[in-house]
Amino acid sequence: MKRIFSGIQPTGEIHLGNYVGAIRNWVTLTDEYDCVFCVVDYHAITVEYEISEFRKRAIETALILLACGLSPEKCKIFVQSHVPEHTELAWIFNCVTPIGELERMTQFKDKSKQHRANINMGLMDYPVLQAADILIYKAGFVPVGEDQVQHIELSREVARKFNARFGNVFPEPQALLSIAPKILGVDGEAKMSKTLNNYIGLLEDEEVMWEKLRTAVTDVNRVRRSDPGNPEICNIYTIHRAFSDNLILLDVDKGCRTAGIGCIDCKKMLFKNMTAELGPIREKALSLMKDTDYVIDVIRAGAKKCSAIAKATMAETRSALGILA
């Protein structure tokens, strides 16, 4: 069975964008692939974070993955720092990765602007560790959105450079592009993000979720209730596409374009469909919060399985490098 790797940072509350853009798709992929899903805590320390909350965040992130439907019987869930071979391989990959490649990475440029007071080496080297995360398991596919394709291309380049110099050890992973719609934040401008405070949290109370949805930006050109709108440029319609069936989408599209429905009517329909899907996830998460020992057991069991794969890959890598065993 072909292997997939993907990771998620424990930097804050899991939001609607994470769920629609990644996690929901991961659940489906476990039926077709050997899936490895990682809480990438070492990636998260490249920016400022709450040290006192960090362990709790890692557990909560794994807990939400389980609540969303990922089963430890069908995939491996673990924390990155529990398998130290990730960082060992990253150092080796540093030795074959040109600095110029890293300086050109879009994410490094964006994060450097966001964190001007802390532009550190880890921020630049992030994609190399990401390549190690993927290639330590010799993953053939990585499910990503379009904004992450550049990182997968770098992983492929790293694999090529290593193989050309030391022998054919690593496969060139392929990006498995998500078909999920790209969801913006409630401001309608930027990607949904806890940092930008424009998010709808996956486990938020329904009252909080509705208030954020109620005040979310729609088609800015639709000023009055009687004005026709354009669903193609409305973020609320984009979220509808993730939660509503085709009949509702047709009704919303027509109602918006003809001013047959107002934005609040549209949001109420969306909220009903969102809560129908997210309600059971919230209930499962609340149940798991009462049994975090189970979540920790899942993480440790996942790390044990992944460690065996990683150790075998590193033994092969060290042999290729000519390192003394």
Write out the catalytic residue numbers: 111, 191, 194
CB burial class (10 A; 0-12, 13-18, 19+) of residue 251? middle
- Name the residue among 35, 228, 66, 235 with its Cα closest to residue 142: 35
Rounded Cα distance, 14 and 126, in Å = 21
Please report the DSSP string for 171-208 in residue order.
---EEEE--SPPPB-TTSSSB--TTTT---BTT--HHH
Rounded Cα distance, 119 and 125, in Å = 11
**CA dist 192 → 15, 274, 307 (Å):** 8, 16, 33
CB burial class (10 A; 0-12, 13-18, 19+) of residue 318? middle
Rounded Cα distance, 235 and 283, in Å = 27
Question: 169 and 162 in contact (C-beta within 8 Å)?
Answer: yes
Rounded Cα distance, 232 and 242, in Å = 14
